[in-house]
Amino acid sequence: MGSATAWQLARRGTRVTLLERFSPGHRNGASHGASRNFNVSYGDPVHLSLLVESLRLWRELEDETDAALLAQVGIVNHGDYPDIDLIQLALETVGIPSEFLPASEASSRWPGLRFETRVLHTPTAGRLNADASVAALQQAARARGAEVRHDTRVLSVEVLGEHRVRVTTETGTITARHAVVTAGAWTQKLVGGIVDLPPLVVTQEQPAHFAVLDTSFEWPGFNHRPGPEDSWWYSGVYGMHTPGEGIKAGWHCVGPVVDPDARDFTSEPVQLAALRRYAREWLPGADADAAVEISCTYTTTPDSTFILDSVGPITVGAGFSGHGFKFTPSIGRVLADLTIGRAAPGVFSLGRFSPGGA
**CATH label of the domain that carries residue 231:** 3.30.9.10
Each residue's pLDDT tens digit, 192-215: 999 999 999 999 999 999 999 999
pLDDT at 180: 98
CA distance 20 to 61: 20
Model confidence at 358: pLDDT above 60: no
pLDDT at 221: 98
Query: Which positions ≥6 away from 264 have C-beta within 8 Å?
Result: none
In which domain, by residue range, is 174 found?
1-29+132-200+301-350
- Of 240, 239, 233, which Cα lies nearest the Cα of 275? 233
Helix H, strand E, coil C: the string for the chain is: CHHHHHHHHHHCCCCCEEECCCCCCCCCCCCCCCCEEECCCCCCHHHHHHHHHHHHHHHHHHHHHCCCCEECCCEEEEECCCCHHHHHHHHHHHCCCCEEECHHHHHHHCCCCCCCCCEEEECCCEEECHHHHHHHHHHHHHHCCCEEECCCCEEEEEEEECCEEEEEECCEEEEECCEEECCHHHHHHHHCCCCCCCCCEEEEECCEEEEECCCCCCCCEEEEECCCCCCCCCCCEEEEEECCCEEEEEECCCCCECCCCCCCCCCCHHHHHHHHHHHHHHCCCEEEEEEEECCEEEEECCCCCCEEEEECCEEEEECCCCCCHHHHHHHHHHHHHHCCCCCCCHHHCHHHHCCCCC
pLDDT at 357: 65
Lowest pLDDT segment from 23-32, 186-195, 290-299: 23-32
Model confidence at 144: pLDDT above 80: yes
Each residue's pLDDT tens digit, 8-48: 999 999 999 999 999 999 999 998 899 999 999 999 999 99
Q: What is the mean pLDDT of the chain?
A: 97
pLDDT at 324: 98
Q: How far apart are the first and last CA of the chain?
A: 24
pLDDT at 355: 81
Residues 3, 57, 344, 257: is their CA dihedral positive or negative?
negative
pLDDT at 31: 81
Instruction: Quote the pTM value.
Output: 0.97
314-339: average pLDDT: 98
pLDDT at 129: 98
pLDDT at 354: 87
Residue 269 shares a structural domain with residue 306: no
Domain of 151, CATH number, reads 3.50.50.60
Each residue's pLDDT tens digit, 268-288: 999 999 999 999 999 999 999
Residue 206 shares a structural domain with residue 281: yes
Please count the structural domains in the chain: 2
- Of 102, 24, 36, 5, which Cα lies nearest the Cα of 242? 36
Percent of the chain with pLDDT over 90: 98
Residues 257, 260, 263, 265: is their CA dihedral positive or negative?
positive
170-174: average pLDDT: 96
Query: Phi and psi for 238 in degrees, rounded to 5?
Result: -120, 160
Residue 334 shares a structural domain with residue 195: yes
For residue 89, is it within any domain?
yes
Pairing mode, strands 36-38 and 314-318? unpaired
Last residue of a domain, one of 258, 281, 300: 300
Residue 253 shares a structural domain with residue 292: yes
pLDDT at 20: 97
Each residue's pLDDT tens digit, 219-234: 999 999 999 999 999 9
Residue 159 shares a structural domain with residue 12: yes
